[in-house]
């Protein structure tokens, strides 16, 4: 896939229909992963409210965002029309279809066959939504189980004629295990991370958890700035375990400098969801400017020059201790040499003085 720039909008509210996707292309995004859809929208019933925000203590800035939003509730046929039309109007922009189905081979293969006919560039298999859908054994219920990941990715790969990315959940101990299962089944790339299971907070007046729907709530998916360190760690681990694997990195990217860190840890494209929800589609111009500035400052002519550049500097804790000890020893021996050198200089000075005394006397 050839991207005008490496910034895609991540699956979610920024890509809910053809109209807003077209707007994002007009503003300069290199690609879009549309909101996840399935063949059966009737089962999708959203609540209001479905978002909660965590703000900084000293400012009103939103640092974390929680949602209990489900996949798209738009009819499947509408999605097929929108995707077809978008590819006709924007042939050079990358359009990735985010798809999700129940644990049935026929359903996954049907959606893959029909959606690729629209001309989309790739699939992103949503194996990672952490709320609502797992109750139907979808999303994260699949993505946290490596055997199921391998089986379901294998089903889609049997029929797909376009690249298939598997979108992984961060809600696992070792992200390289399910990602490895997707790669084993033939996934062409990994998207990560989806949201982190969370309870955003309790309303201190009502004592009810948020977001509060009729006095009640469910744990939701956490995103935004606060999740970036977790996303970076997981991308790093998967990149180290799978050299050369295309990774579309996301989780808390709001600036071009944030994006650069994902590239340095092995991602080859990045996605932005919450950042665009909070600050608007227009941030694309800032993102590209900041990434360009980073590249100029470091004299990088292309992104491929720095993909994974920081990966070699991760090691074990044991190795850190050894390196620190070796560095300390080196410093001490240098200091000893300098001290010895100073002794020699003093001695030379003494001799010179004594010689002068002898001559003058
Ligand atoms: C309101 C909301 C809805 C989302 N819906 C989807 C979805 O339908 N499919 C999906 O794969 N990810 C979905 N996500 C997850 C994002 O695509 C992304 O993986 C995650 O939010 C981390 O990136 P961010 O911090 O840039 O938002 C959603 C996120 C939010 C905030």
- The domain limits of the chain are 7-310, 315-361
Residue-level pLDDT at 360: 58
Average of per-residue pLDDT across 223-239: 98
The pLDDT of residue 343 is above 90: no
**Predicted confidence band of residue 352 (pLDDT cuts 50, 70, 90):** confident
pLDDT at 357 over 90: no
Question: Does residue 361 carry a pLDDT above 60?
Answer: no
How large is the average pLDDT for residues 289-316? 98
CB 211 within 8 A of CB 51: yes
**Contact in structure between 63 and 226 (CB atoms under 8 Å):** yes
The residue-averaged pLDDT of 96-125 equals 98
CATH class held by domain 7-310: alpha beta
Rounded distance from Cα 22 to ligand 1 centre (Å): 19
Is residue 215's pLDDT more than 80? yes
Residues 300, 35: Cα–Cα separation, whole Å: 33
Rounded to whole angstroms, the Cα distance separating 179 from 174 reads 9
Does the structure show a pLDDT above 70 at 303? yes
Cα 324 to ligand 1 centroid, rounded to whole Å: 40
Mean pLDDT computed over 217-237: 98
In this predicted structure, the answer to whether residue 161 has a pLDDT above a threshold of 80 is yes
pLDDT for 174 beyond 70: yes
Do 244 and 276 touch, CB atoms closer than 8 A?
Answer: no
Q: Is the pLDDT of residue 346 over 90?
A: no
- 195 ligand 1 Cβ < 6 A: yes
pLDDT confidence tier of residue 212, bands split at 50, 70 and 90: very high
With cut-offs at 50, 70 and 90, classify the pLDDT of residue 183.
Answer: very high
pLDDT tier, 108 (very low <50, low <70, confident <90, very high otherwise) = very high
pLDDT score, position 46: 94
- For the stretch 27-44, pLDDT in tens is 999 999 999 999 999 999
- What per-residue confidence (pLDDT) applies to 354? 66
Of all protein residues, whose CA lies closest to atom 6 belonging to ligand 1?
12
Q: 212 vs 135, which has greater pLDDT?
A: 212
pLDDT recorded at residue 355: 63
Q: Does residue 201 carry a pLDDT above 80?
A: yes
Mean pLDDT of all residues in 67-82: 97
Taking the CA atoms of the chain, what radius of gyration do you get in angstroms? 27
| Position 196 pLDDT exceeds 70 | yes
> What average pLDDT does the structure give for the chain?
96
For residue 129, the number of C-alpha atoms closer than 13 Å in the C-beta half-sphere is 29
Nearest CA to ligand 1 atom 18: 194
Q: Atom 22 of ligand 1 has which residue's CA nearest to it?
A: 251
- Provide the pLDDT for residue 345: 74
Residue to probe by mutation, ligand 1, list 273, 274, 279, most atoms within 8 Å of CB? 273
Give the mean pLDDT of 175-198. 98
- CB neighbours of residue 27 within 10 Å: 15
Query: Does the beta carbon of 255 lie inside 6 Å of ligand 1?
Result: no
Note the pLDDT of residue 358.
Answer: 59
Distance in Å, CA 11 to ligand 1 centroid: 5
- Token pair, residue 114, equals 């029909």
Q: Decide: 131 in ligand 1 pocket, CB within 6 A.
A: no
Strands 247-250 and 269-272 come out as parallel
pLDDT at 359 over 70: no
Query: Ligand 1 atom closest to Cα of 254?
Result: 26
- Which tens digit of pLDDT belongs to each residue from 242-267? 999 999 999 999 999 999 999 999 99
User: Quick one: average pLDDT of 270-298?
Assistant: 98
Both structure tokens of 80: 């097929």
Position 229 scores a pLDDT of 98
């Amino acid at each position: 896939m050839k991207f005008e720039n490496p910034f895609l909008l991540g699956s979610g509210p920024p890509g809910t229909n053809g109209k807003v996707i077209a707007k994002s292309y007009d503003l300069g995004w290199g690609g879009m992963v549309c909101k996840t859809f399935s063949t059966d929208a009737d089962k999708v019933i959203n609540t209001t409210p479905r978002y909660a925000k965590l703000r900084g203590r000293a400012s009103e800035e939103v640092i974390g965002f929680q949602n209990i939003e489900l996949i798209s509730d738009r009819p499947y046929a509408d999605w097929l029309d929108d995707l077809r039309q978008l590819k006709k109007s924007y042939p050079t922009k990358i359009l990735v279809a985010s798809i999700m189905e129940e644990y049935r081979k026929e359903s996954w293969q049907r959606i893959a066959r029909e959606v690729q006919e629209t001309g989309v560039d790739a699939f992103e298999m949503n194996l990672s939504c952490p709320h609502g859908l797992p109750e139907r054994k979808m999303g994260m219920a699949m993505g946290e189980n490596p055997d199921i990941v391998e089986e379901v990715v294998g089903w889609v790969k049997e029929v797909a004629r376009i690249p298939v990315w598997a979108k992984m959940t961060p809600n696992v101990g070792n992200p390289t295990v399910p990602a490895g299962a997707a790669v084993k089944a033939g996934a062409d790339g990994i998207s990560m991370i989806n949201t982190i299971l969370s309870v955003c907070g309790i309303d201190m007046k009502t004592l009810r958890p948020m977001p509060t729907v009729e006095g009640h709530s469910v744990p939701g998916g956490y995103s935004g700035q606060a999740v970036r360190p977790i996303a970076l760690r997981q991308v790093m681990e998967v990149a180290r375990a799978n050299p050369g694997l295309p990774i579309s990195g996301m989780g808390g990217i709001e600036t071009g400098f944030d994006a650069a860190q994902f590239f340095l840890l092995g991602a080859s494209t990045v996605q932005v969801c919450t950042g665009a929800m909070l600050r608007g589609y227009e941030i694309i111009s800032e993102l590209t400017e900041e990434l360009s500035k980073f590249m100029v400052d470091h004299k990088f002519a292309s992104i491929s020059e720095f993909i994974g550049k920081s990966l070699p500097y991760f090691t074990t804790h044991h190795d850190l201790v050894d390196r620190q000890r070796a560095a300390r020893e080196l410093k001490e021996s240098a200091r000893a040499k300098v001290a010895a050198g100073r002794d020699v200089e003093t001695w030379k000075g003494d001799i010179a003085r004594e010689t002068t005394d002898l001559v003058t006397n």
